[in-house]
Structure 1
């Protein structure tokens, strides 16, 4: 092995660039010292002395790419890692979340950097233990994301060995896992509440309106600037009162302006209540460096005016103070309307009755959101808007105005309608599969799970394609199972044909006349011996009432032996009758009657065996 190790330099960036091209993994925000150590370790094991040679090796060996990606996040995944922290989450974090929500309100959770799924399933266990399994299925939705597609594929399987579950108490394993082929698989009914998808914390938008955000020991691999940006996104993603759960190697200041500690030692924090406007989106995070920025007022005015979101600011007295360019274009207001009372503008009642919401936000000092607002423009066409009404709090803690933002959600609504149409199509397919055979019920449950996951993907656009691919795989599995069922049915049909043929040959081979009756004395079977004896063909006799048969046998005289056979499964009787056979000869016929027994032993009819006596 070559002991020469490379010195830090631009070659490491070449390695990271190749990882991004090969796997889509962006490590530009990771702490450089840790990355260099891990790259050096891999090169040392392979005996490669320079970065250029290592990049060539990565191009030739896809397995080494996976090995390096796995080596970068050196944190080892596991179930319920750091048990004291999970106990604190269960005893403090989850109750704090439930106290902020109604008894039927949904709970949204994000596991950021979920790796191979252990953390996501640990969260499911934690919530199910607190709220109960039924409430968990109805209320909790867990979004689990990572940048490693191979890890996500393993997470979706939800199958783990004894080594991976060694930290889980046996009673929890018995309650939440099912034994399959030597592995433990997380319960299918609870798995439906977990959605896996790809998300890069540095580049992709966060999942929003969260009650709990879990990111354990991932921030430690990021440099200071990237870590600050990601924490800003986390603050934006959490709903008011939402909880942030970090790893034991990560911490926030004791007096963070945006997070209050629930359990600082166990890294549980809560989004701090504030009188300022709602948390800014990641694109609005500003890094203050302690220097004066010239022309800041002009910059703020220009940024407000050029914002792609239509915005209007109203003073505490109800006077329009600011209108940006997008609002002027959308609602045909102008700079001349600035300074006018809001009630005098058409905007006050179109597209919604805005004054009531502005007054409510001002008096209650809380943000409001109005969804599904349809706006019919004068130029033709309709837009769907989501209106955000936020109180503006001054330095003296008084309301100085109200900001109104009109977000265009037309494209998102169309996507939701398309997904709803897709859902209806899938439900129809599910109904057809269910009616085909009861044995496909398990597969249909998988399909219903896919439908439910598709409903949630309208909020996470990045994971839509992956969820649809999962659905296609399950449909292929369904088709394979249906083919197997059809093969089994064909085999059973062939076997039934063989049995029927065998019974037919038995009845045909008997020289005596055999007649099988149902409880209503209708003929079920009429063998060839009966045809030879009475001259009546089988197709003429079967289905007819015994007493209606026009044969030479006085059938009415058979009642004394037939009636008991229909009620007593142990009865057996016989009678001799004078009859006229098919040749017109008078003959003496011995008739033996026995019950036709069901599988459980009760009578299901009667069997008559008729034999001409030799005189």
Structure 2
């Protein structure tokens, strides 16, 4: 609702934000107003001031009040290896992937944005030191840790932590990376040189560049949607091509899927997608250490690396002649060394398994990479391969096209898995009739539970922050702190229970026999179940977020426009219609579409639900 869409707007409060920006250079206008007003109100209560104008006067005459206000606003909730599952995935999958993509001499640049008191930055140092060894870590890794809170950065640079902060650190890591200092522990001084702390405002300041791994966890939630979009563009710019973004569990990047590809959505790892303005594939020769290798050695390394690439790759020059073909391509398409140097048009690969020449011309003329999915190739008797094609223009340092790279990815295994999943879904179709009577009730319950989960997560975070503040007070508040901790644990358990219920409801939608499609008031698809995938052959990630009428399926969507618009306008509307269509197998079928309004708890229409099933199946 865009922070209640300025329902919380107050001229006196905005005057405080403007003064803070003008006097101290802190721009909080991008933060969510509800959270800001709650935290500023807490500080006003502490100093005994009831109104915003009076508090602005207080700020103007008490310079020391800024520090107390910032400490109240910038609640730094962090810990070592926070969210164990995500860090386990970082250690087991992401770090080995990054190391495999770099040579043993390449530098690795890591950025921890919103590092607070440093636990996240030192967790990254431990994870990479474990994977690379201490000597390689010292020589190759630089970790840049930034925050807007100067007091938190001072604490991070000191790298001194007590037993409470180190509770999540395994015993072997504590012995290996920390030195005891009285009742506290200090991160190893030698490794600390690889971690550089500095102030950076994600809203106002320029990003750090050439980053291989960017960690920005549970930070964007404090900003408005407009500020989030601006920050994500900066993070995208900061990453090297194919760089990795590690986000918090509450952040999904749904509105920015075109600039980031999910590596693992559950653990919130994404990969940068180079923008179309890059034109094609560029080779940065400054990344090569030419002082240690002669040109001949480098050329030999390039040749061996190209030949050993696990995917089939062919390079065609500007004359249409095959310039290179690696071992995988030769084996897959029965090419030989004699075929290198021949015109592509004279080879069978130019038209089988797919017509290549037009795609190559298009990639070269438009200077952008092309991707073709779901290519089926009958390689031999009983052998059908599923391939994905990537055609990328090769651009020289002088900005001239010098050729085109054609890469074939064998996705046969994934294709078979999808087929098996489709068969499993068909086996569950007999449960649809039993679930049909409860669908509407479950969808309403799901909406209410989602709202409750969001409220509980917000409450949980505030209680965590309050708990840390109370731990620093005197012994008289210790009993209150224990009670708040108990409440916090209960809320955390409730959140997990609600997550389980939400997952259960999602599995029910997935198991429905009919195609279920949910659209919002803008007629954009927000839900697309497995039944819809099986009926039209369009995957969920391809449909969700798209306008319903723009979907390329065999259903005459224009005929549904007035029906859907009526459901969006009238919360009590419901209508059933039968349409001629073509299913994903190209067969003509009669489709019965039942369209009704999606209502919120107040009874107002927030979208529309379409239930699609073949008329033959309903008759049966």
TM range (shorter): 0.3 to 0.5
Larger Rg: 1
Normalising by structure 1, report the TM-score: 0.45
Normalising by structure 2, report the TM-score: 0.44
